[in-house]
Amino acid sequence: MIRFLLKGILRDRSRSILPIIIISIGVMLTVALSGYMRGAFGDMIDQNARFSTGHVKIMSKAYAENQDQIPNDLALLGIGEMVEGLQQDYPDVEWVPRIRFGGLLDVPDESGNTRAQGPAAGMALDLLSPSSTEIERMNIDKSIVSGRVPQNPGEAIIGDEFARKLELSLGDVFTYFGTTMEGSMTFKSFTVVGTIRFGSIGMDKGMVIVDVSDAQMMLDMEDGAGEVLGFLKGGVYKDEVAVEMATAFNARYEGDEDEYAPEMFPLKAQNNLEGLLEYGETMSGLFVFIFVLAMSVVLWNTGLLGGLRRYNEFGIRLALGEAKHQIYRSMILEATIIGIIGSIVGTLIGLGLSYYMQVVGIDISEMITESSMIMPTVIRSKITPELFYIGFIPGVLAMVFGNMLAGRGIYKRETAKLFKELEV
């Protein structure tokens, strides 16, 4: 039966070419837009995880309540022992301490007087430990514009745009002015060994990166850190795992009223990312629903026109003794085959567009010049396993649903009038 219908579809292209084109266009748009949405939201979440939230993050309860102010006076202490315990309890997670700090950068001239100044957003990472993976995770090697990664204490890398603004060159020295964990004044000189561009406007404007040991000494935070970030092995965020881990960890300190007690947060509970994740899933589902509905209406009309053209065909088949439900079933099966063919064509085209967008992307840097949000300046699509089948949902369903509506006309045929029609 399927072979017979397939031959009819291929030989009588007038009844299949238009539905296939419509389905292919709809499926192509579904796949391409779904890939774009997954890529855009995925990159944004990944960048937030690497630079700010981790897959999970541990902070003191008081620090978490005021984290936008970077309250290092409420930071965690005893980080070395804490990280060792976490590695034993959660061997599938990599734990890294980080310190964020803000202050003023002062660039002296040849006489030692101030030549330029600017506010800086500092980040302290483990850059000097041989076993550290922070350089790879932050993609620092590939983001370096000039110079190199710090290899010795007292060295720093600075945002390329920030360096140009302060007229800093490789080998120049700047002095950081700020406050310590105890609230006293602190200052420390660093040598610029590299400039960097992450592609995030909010970070590149005033970023300074130093080793965590330098920051601990500078801020009087010996064996302390503002945040301890955890990254799941494989580098892929899994919401269920992160939420379960955070729930179990926080249960240990549920009755602890100490404001310095640690508290764990999954990625989606930070930076308003929960709404972003839900929005991405909702939009992907909405795209599929809209295309199913729109294509169903179009294919319903196409089916009605095709049904009118095949009116005599259905009449002859009824006159020859074929039951109405048999004709209806063959019509639905034919629609399914056409839907599959159109979905295959549309999926291949959509995957091609998604691959192109994944490689090239869309540069939106000019649109977010004033943004402080951590987000990529180039939006790319992302090809995921779901893209290989998601187009078949609107493609096949719309074709079948449209023909189910159009095929109702078969049951309205009156057998008594068939011979009169055939005589004409």
Tell me whether residue 370 is in a domain: yes
DSSP-derived 3-state class of residue 50: helix
pLDDT at 187 over 50: yes
- Return the closest-CA partner of residue 64 out of 256, 220, 271, 247: 271
Number of neighbouring beta carbons within 10 Å of residue 285: 11
Comparison of pLDDT for 423 and 347, the residue scoring more: 347
pLDDT at 383 over 60: yes
Tell me whether residue 61 is in a domain: yes
Least confident of 139-153, 194-208, 237-251: 194-208
Strands 224-225 and 173-179, by their bridges, are: unpaired
Query: Do 74 and 23 sit in the same domain of this protein?
Result: no
212 CB burial (10 A radius; 0-12, 13-18, 19+):
buried
Query: Do 218 and 96 sit in the same domain of this protein?
Result: yes
Return the amino acid letter for 64.
A
- pLDDT bin (cut points 50, 70, 90) of residue 212 is very high
Query: Domain limits at 403?
Result: 2-47+275-423
- pLDDT bin (cut points 50, 70, 90) of residue 58 is very high
Residue 325 is predicted with a pLDDT of 76
- Return the closest-CA partner of residue 136 out of 61, 57, 50, 237: 50
Buried b or exposed e, range 41-68, using 16+ CB within 10 angstroms: bbbbbbbbbbbbbbbbbbbbbbbbeebe
Question: Contact at 8 Å (CB) between 374 and 47?
Answer: yes
Helix or strand run (H / E) with residue 220: none
Query: Do 16 and 101 sit in the same domain of this protein?
Result: no
Query: Do 18 and 115 sit in the same domain of this protein?
Result: no
Query: Do 37 and 84 sit in the same domain of this protein?
Result: no
Tell me whether residue 212 is in a domain: yes
Average pLDDT of span 287-310: 66
Query: Backbone phi, then psi, for 336, in 5-degree steps?
Result: -65, -45
- pLDDT bin (cut points 50, 70, 90) of residue 307 is low
Average pLDDT of span 8-24: 72
Query: Do 417 and 303 sit in the same domain of this protein?
Result: yes
Domain boundary among 218, 236, 254: 236
Comparison of pLDDT for 79 and 327, the residue scoring more: 79
- pLDDT bin (cut points 50, 70, 90) of residue 156 is very high
Query: Do 109 and 220 sit in the same domain of this protein?
Result: yes
Tell me whether residue 256 is in a domain: no
Query: Do 232 and 93 sit in the same domain of this protein?
Result: yes
Q: How far apart are CA 235 and CA 177, in angstroms?
A: 35
Number of domains in the chain: 2
Q: How far apart are CA 76 and CA 179, in angstroms?
A: 17
Tell me whether residue 268 is in a domain: no
Place of tokens 């009156």: 414
Tell me whether residue 261 is in a domain: no
Comparison of pLDDT for 374 and 128, the residue scoring more: 128
Domain boundary among 236, 262, 291: 236
Q: How far apart are CA 146 and CA 411, in angstroms?
A: 75
Tell me whether residue 241 is in a domain: no
Query: Do 184 and 330 sit in the same domain of this protein?
Result: no
Comparison of pLDDT for 339 and 201, the residue scoring more: 339
Query: Do 220 and 285 sit in the same domain of this protein?
Result: no
pLDDT at 372 over 60: no
Domain boundary among 176, 209, 236: 236
Query: Do 201 and 169 sit in the same domain of this protein?
Result: yes
Tell me whether residue 39 is in a domain: yes
Provide the H-helix boundaries in 153-252: 160-166, 201-204, 212-218, 239-252
- Return the closest-CA partner of residue 360 out of 36, 27, 136: 36
Q: What share of the chain is helix, strand, coil (3-state, %, to 5)?
A: 55, 20, 25
| Mean pLDDT score across all residues of the chain | 81
Q: How far apart are CA 374 and CA 378, in angstroms?
A: 12
Average pLDDT of span 87-103: 91
Least confident of 24-28, 70-74, 179-183, 392-396: 392-396
Contacts of 400 (CB under 8 A, 6+ apart): 332, 335, 336, 339
Query: Do 153 and 293 sit in the same domain of this protein?
Result: no
